[in-house]
Amino acid sequence: MKIPGCLILFAILLLMMVSSCYYDSEEYLYPNTSSQCDTTDVTYSKSVVPIIQNSCLSCHSNSTAALGGNIKLEDYADVKLRADDHRLLGSIEHQSGYSPMPQGSKKLDDCKISTVRIWVNAGAPNN
Ligand code: HEC
């Protein structure tokens, strides 16, 4: 039996449509797969320290604290102090009454802020 060329073309088109539909629905089912925020296992050393290193230590390390109002965020004890006096969250969440941090850059993204918030609300453990 001879299959008409237009039928094959139609079949190919249909396949393309089906696969693109599947792709669409995957995006719909799992939004933001590329920028997913994983806050299931937040710890000081694995989650909080990298954020502080990347965004804060240029002004708040033990050696650069002169640039950061002498607020140190390098050692756990110093970070814990700022977690407990609410300045850490107050500043990164840009709450009124606190200096917005990181100074001179844009606000941290929501994922980083919630990571720090989860850690602080857990009592800022040294884990
Ligand atoms: C470019 C330098 C710079 C960077 C980067 C920076 N800070 Fe600061 N920070 C400062 C300065 C200067 C002060 C003191 C003057 C002030 O309060 O505005 C300060 C003050 C603070 C305070 C005290 C705020 C208050 O209201 O009492 C906290 C807490 C703080 N920084 C946390 C952070 C955190 C967390 C980051 C990273 C997300 C960060 N800073 C990044 C310069 C910086």
25: pLDDT strictly greater than 60: no
Annotated domain spans of the chain: 5-35, 44-121
Q: How far, in Å, from the CA of 104 to the mean position of ligand 1?
A: 10
pTM, 2 dp? 0.79
Residue 31: the pLDDT is 54
Task: Please write the tens of the pLDDT for every residue from 29-79.
Answer: 555 554 689 999 999 999 999 999 999 999 999 999 999 999 999 999 999
Q: How far, in Å, from the CA of 61 to the mean position of ligand 1?
A: 11
Task: Provide, rounded to the nearest whole percent, the portion of the chain with pLDDT above 90.
Answer: 72
Provide the 8-state DSSP code for 48.
I
Among protein residues, the one with the nearest Cα to ligand 1's atom 17 is 99
6: pLDDT strictly greater than 80: no
78: exposed, middle or buried (Cβ count in 10 Å: 0-12, 13-18, 19+): middle
